[in-house]
Amino acid sequence: MNSLSVTNEQFSDILNLYYGSYFPLKHFNDEKNFKNILLKKKVNNKFFPLPIFFGINKKKYFKIKNKKIIKLFFENKYIAAIKIKNFFNIKKKIFGRKLFGLNYKKHPYYLKFSKENYIFLDFEYIKINKKNLRHKYFVPPSIFKKKLKKVSTLAGFHTRNVPHTAHQWVHKFMIKKYSKILIQPLIGQYKKGEYLDSTIIKANLLAIQMYDKKALYVPYFSYPRYGGPLESALHALVRKNYGCTHFWVGRDHAGYKKYFSKYSSQSFCFKNQNKLGIKIIVQKEPYYCHGCKKIVNKKCLKNLCKRSLKIVISGTKVRNYLRKNKDIPEIIMNKKISKILNKNSIINSLKK
């Protein structure tokens, strides 16, 4: 019996599929489901926004291409034995266009996807080693939902950043409207320029301590695809499976540079909220107004403030301060959070 080592991303998908985070999807896509999701956004006649696949590179393929039974390992630990049904290919340019648009060839996740997926596997599990099917950053939805017996409304907040003041405005906005909020940061960063996972966790836990037990925390062990509207819809489904009744979708949720138009993720998720089975919170982007001396997201309090007084707050701006070893202004980030950050809080090379 041959063995195959799975990547961090593949292991996170195994966990999310097996424990129901990606429901209604229960298994990695076979060729038919891959195409149905890519072209119709459906799996077994239910809405599902983007493919979840198991691909391997050319070297791994030639190692196992004549094998039927394979053992899967993650970090040298045995996790499962699988029976390979077949190998299949997908036209990568169609995948790229559907997820990222016409300029897909320069998109960081498309480049990663093309490099790592020479061919795809359709397989079934023969045996699963549940003892090793766990991760320090993964909590199954069924375990987390045991905490929610007395929570009538739970609003989910997704982030791959450390919280700045605009994020905290969103947190407080939701705390006022819903029983509790779930701050669930994405853990599994790989791209140069993103925050370290440990930094994301520490900073978000600091923010939660400021909310007087109104905020819950559980990590979302996955990885960013920078897939804009389609990935945002996946994030909404995940939060539904974790017990959320509502979900905040931001200005450029799951976006990357100029690949997606402003509010396109929000519009797509709101349009499909009945299919998703979770209410989408639709609000304008918060910003700091020097005239009002506070964070606002609609008209300024006096309605007289000039455009020049408005300061856009973003994770990119925070990272620029860190790279230059400059102090982050308190209008951009709470000092309790900014003091734990420095330029070493950011990934400085591409993770393999």
pLDDT of amino acid 350: 46
The pTM assigned to this predicted structure is 0.94
Of 35-39, 164-168, 179-183, 308-312, the least confident: 308-312
pLDDT of residue 291: 80
Paired sense of beta strands 180-187 and 215-217, if any: parallel
Q: What is the pLDDT of residue 352?
A: 46
Looking at the predicted structure, is the pLDDT value of residue 301 above 60? no
**Choice among 2-6, 39-43, 105-109, 293-297 with the minimum mean pLDDT:** 293-297
Average pLDDT estimate for 326-336: 95
Whether residue 86 sits in one domain with residue 23: yes
217 assigned to some structural domain: yes
pLDDT digits (tens, 9 = 90+) for 177-212: 999 999 999 998 877 788 899 999 999 999 999 998
Residues 146 and 213 in one domain: yes
Which of 8, 43, 3 minimizes the C-alpha distance to 27? Answer: 43
What is the percent of the chain with per-residue pLDDT over 90, rounded to a whole number? 78
Per DSSP, 195 falls in state: B
Distance separating alpha carbons of residues 27 and 194, to the nearest angstrom = 29
Give domain status of residue 350, yes or no: no
Asked if residue 351 belongs to a domain, the reply is no
Burial class of residue 211 in the structure, from the number of CB atoms within 10 Å of its CB (0-12 exposed, 13-18 middle, 19+ buried): middle
HSE, CB side, 13 Å, CA atoms: give it for residue 203: 30
Q: What's the burial of 219, exposed, middle or buried (CB within 10 Å: 0-12/13-18/19+)?
A: buried
d(CA 47, CA 41): 6
Kindly indicate the confidence band of residue 130, based on its pLDDT and cuts at 50, 70 and 90. Answer: very high
Residue 162 domain flag? yes
207 and 258 housed in the same domain = yes
If asked whether residues 127 and 214 sit together in one domain, one would say no
Kindly report, residue by residue over 250-284, the tens digit of the pLDDT.
Answer: 989 999 888 999 999 999 999 999 999 999 999 98
Provide the 10 A C-beta neighbour count for residue 85. 12
- Within this chain, do residues 147 and 277 fall inside the same structural domain, yes or no? yes
Domain membership flag for residue 352: no
Six-digit token pair at 176?
């006022």
Q: Of the candidates 28, 30, 22, which has an alpha carbon nearest to the alpha carbon of residue 49?
A: 22
Position 58 in a domain:
yes
Are residue 172 and residue 116 in the same domain, yes or no? no
Q: Report the pLDDT value the prediction gives residue 289, as an integer from 0 to 100.
A: 86
User: What confidence score (pLDDT) does residue 316 get?
Assistant: 85
The tokens of 314 are what? 């973003």
For residue 123, the model assigns a pLDDT of 97
Structural domain ending residue among the three candidates 108, 132, 156: 132
Say which residue, 70 or 297, is predicted with more confidence: 70
Q: What is the pLDDT of residues 133-145, one digit of tens each?
A: 999 999 999 999 9
Mean pLDDT of the chain: 92
| 338's tokens | 């900014």
Tokens of 320: 């620029």
Whether residues 341 and 222 fall in one domain: yes
Same domain, 173 and 61: no
pLDDT of residue 189: 80
Whether pLDDT at 308 is above 80: no
pLDDT score for 223: 94
259 and 120 share one domain: no
For the chain, how many structural domains are there in total? Answer: 2
**Domain housing 49:** 2-132
Residue where one domain finishes, among candidates 81, 114, 132: 132
Residue 14: CATH number of its domain: 3.10.400.10
Residue 339's pLDDT is what? 95
Same domain, 16 and 105: yes
Residue 263 sits in a domain whose CATH number is 3.40.50.620
Same domain for 185 and 111: no
In the numeric block, the tokens 């905020």 are attached to 215
| Distance between CA atoms of residues 251 and 258, nearest Å | 12
145 is a domain residue:
yes
Give the highest mean pLDDT range of 199-203, 300-304, 309-313. 199-203
Given 100, 132, 164, the domain boundary residue is 132
- The predicted pLDDT at position 349 comes to 46
Whether residue 127 is contained in a domain is answered as yes
Asked if 77 and 13 sit in the same domain, the reply is yes
